[in-house]
Amino acid sequence: MQVSQFKMVNYSYDEDLEELCPVCGDKVSGYHYGLLTCESCKGFFKRTVQNQKRYTCIENQNCQIDKTQRKRCPYCRFKKCIDVGMKLEAVRADRMRGGRNKFGPMYKRDRALKQQKKALIRANGLKLEAMSQVIQAMPSDLTSAIQNIHSASKGLPLSHVALPPTDYDRSPFVTSPISMTMPPHGSLHGYQPYGHFPNRAIKSEYPHPYSS
Q: What angle do CA 70, 74, 80 make, to 5 degrees?
A: 75
Read off the pLDDT of each residue in 166-178 and give the average, rounded to a whole number: 49
* Cα four-point dihedral sign 91, 97, 98, 100: positive
Q: Is this prediction's pTM over 0.85?
A: no
Q: Could you give the number of structural domains in the chain?
A: 2
Which amino acid, one-letter code, is at 194? Answer: Y
Residues 36 and 92 in one domain: yes
- The SS3 assignment for 48 reads helix
Cα 198 off chain centre by: 70
pLDDT at 147: 66
Whether residues 68 and 95 share a domain: the answer is yes
CA angle, 204 then 205 then 211, to 5°: 65
Task: Look at residue 1 in the predicted model and tell me its pLDDT.
Answer: 44
**pLDDT tens digits, 33-52:** 988 899 999 999 999 999 99
- CB neighbours of residue 34 within 10 Å: 19
Q: Is residue 76 part of a domain?
A: yes
- Judge if 70 and 116 occupy the same domain: no
Which position has the higher pLDDT, 175 or 27?
A: 27
Least confident of 36-40, 133-137, 171-175: 171-175
Residues 45 and 89 in one domain: yes
Q: Output 44 or 31, whichever has higher pLDDT.
A: 44
Q: Which domain holds residue 131?
A: 102-136
Residue 92 and residue 127 share a domain: no
Q: What is the CATH number of the domain that holds 78?
A: 3.30.50.10
Is the CB of residue 78 less than 8 Å from the CB of residue 55? yes
Tens of pLDDT, residue by residue over 109-129, are 666 666 667 667 766 766 666
Q: Is residue 38 part of a domain?
A: yes
